[in-house]
Amino acid sequence: MFPSVGALLLLLLCPGPSHGRSPQIRSEALKRLLEVFGMEDAPQSPVATRQPPQYMLDLYHTVTGADGVTKQPELLLGNTVRSFLDRARNQRLEFFFNLSSVAKSETILAAELHLFKLRGRLSQDLRQHRHLFCQVSVYQILDNNTSKAEGKRLLSTRILPVHDNTWEVFTITNAVYDWTQNKESNKGLLVIVQTLAGHKLHNYIRFATGRDHHSSKHPMVVLFTDDERRGTATFTSRETPFIREVTLHDKASQSRNTRSANLLGCLRYPLYVDFEEIGWSGWIISPRGYNAYHCKGACVFPLGQNMRPTNHATVQSIINALKLTKGVATPCCIPDKLFSINLLYFDDDENVVLKQYDDMVAGSCGCR
């Protein structure tokens, strides 16, 4: 049977008997935990070497509350957001993004090209125009010779003030869909800037490049996907559930208190997952860890409403107490509400990824 996340975490983090656990069991448990996070191996990109894009940090903080718990799940399209920085270092208005880290199984929901537009350098000619707008068009490159009509495909076109000095976002979903279906088809993107009359404006309108400008202005593709992993019982943290919780700070006292825990009934206890302790702080940008909580305690007759019993659990506890039928155990104390968490991390290609994982935090415990 596949162990629950809670069981894995207890195996990795709990004091007491686990001190004597063999390295094999620990490494097997870590491997299983990586599977829970949808990975075969821990990514190798060290966090310390690069600054994550501000857009990804802002997005993470918008959808995530304290300790990594999801606060606004409806803001994200799907459960994964990937960012890719431009890898083309030659031409000013050609861009290349290596999307090889996107799994074939991921559903592409939307893709955006983020370009930082620099203030236009206007010639005498252009200064005379009263309306200082330009038309910026983003094309998918299909062929070496983009001068030919069939050499490129129009993805998105916008009219922008020449003087703007800010991020511009273009939808490029169709191109990214092609690229993830067939890697060979990725020949990059071409940006063409024109006056509203259709004249080329390339020397006047510029976008920040990875080579010539600060890393905070690098051209970037942001990809919203879904990997179809779904939990069964996710709630948002805004639906504050009824929580009975006992805080036991001292780990040693936790095992000493097992007997008294049984007397207290089914309760939620802290279980902090420290990514540094697990050895994952090298690639996870945020959070540093999260509180998964765990459920502990006896579900013995009579089950009060504070134990949140199902009717089935109530009947089972009665049968158990009256010993009407042999071999009927007491109901189990388990999470009956689970929250999702978000992780912001560097993948193997040093791209920053935001992923949402369902059913990671016990929101409340009940007798089931």
Ligand X SMILES: *[C@@H]1O[C@H](CO)[C@@H](O)[C@H](O)[C@H]1NC(C)=O
Rg (CA), the chain: 27
Considering only residues 314-353, where is the footprint of ligand X by CB under 6 A?
349
CA 10-15-18 angle, to 5 degrees, is 70
Which is closer to ligand X, CB of 67 or CB of 349?
A: 349
Which is closer to ligand X, CB of 44 or CB of 100?
A: 100
Instruction: Single out the residue of 4, 18, 98, 194 in contact with ligand X (rule: CB under 6 A).
Output: 98
What are the E-state strand segments in 65-151? 80-85, 94-95, 107-118, 133-141
Closest separation in Å from C-beta 270 to ligand X: 39
DSSP state of 111: E
Asked if omega into 331 is within 30° of 0 (cis), the reply is no
Instruction: Single out the residue of 49, 144, 182, 232 in contact with ligand X (rule: CB under 6 A).
Output: 144
Instruction: Single out the residue of 91, 107, 145, 258 in contact with ligand X (rule: CB under 6 A).
Output: 145
DSSP assignment of 206-241 equals: EE--TTTS-GGG--EEEEEEE-----SSEE-TTS--
Instruction: Single out the residue of 148, 163, 251, 288 in contact with ligand X (rule: CB under 6 A).
Output: 148
For ligand X (CB under 6 A), the number of binding residues is 8
Tokens linked to 347:
């993948």
Region of 182 on the Ramachandran plot (φ > 0 left; ψ -120 to 50 alpha; else beta): beta
DSSP state of 66: G
Which is closer to ligand X, CB of 98 or CB of 171?
A: 98
Closest separation in Å from C-beta 186 to ligand X: 7
Helix orientation angle between 5-13 and 23-36, rounded to the nearest 10 degrees: 140
Closest separation in Å from C-beta 60 to ligand X: 24
Which is closer to ligand X, CB of 13 or CB of 99?
A: 99
Closest separation in Å from C-beta 147 to ligand X: 4
**SS3 label, residue 192:** strand
Closest separation in Å from C-beta 92 to ligand X: 19
Which is closer to ligand X, CB of 164 or CB of 348?
A: 348
Which is closer to ligand X, CB of 124 or CB of 144?
A: 144
Which is closer to ligand X, CB of 86 or CB of 358?
A: 86
Closest separation in Å from C-beta 347 to ligand X: 10
Closest separation in Å from C-beta 149 to ligand X: 8
Closest separation in Å from C-beta 145 to ligand X: 4
Instruction: Single out the residue of 51, 54, 72, 100 in contact with ligand X (rule: CB under 6 A).
Output: 100
DSSP state of 34: H
Chain Cα centroid distance, residue 81: 6
End-to-end Cα, the chain, rounded Å: 19
Which is closer to ligand X, CB of 149 or CB of 197?
A: 149
Q: How far apart are alpha carbons 64 and 287 in whole angstroms?
A: 9
Closest separation in Å from C-beta 86 to ligand X: 12
Q: Which helix H or strand E contains 26, and what residues bound it?
A: helix 23-36
According to the binding rule CB under 6 A, does residue 147 interact with ligand X?
yes
Q: How far apart are alpha carbons 180 and 173 in whole angstroms?
A: 11
Q: How far apart are alpha carbons 336 and 357 in whole angstroms?
A: 17
Segment contacting ligand X by CB under 6 A, of 142-150, 196-204, 261-269, 286-294: 142-150
Which is closer to ligand X, CB of 24 or CB of 144?
A: 144
Residues that bind ligand X (CB under 6 A): 98, 100, 143-145, 147-148, 349
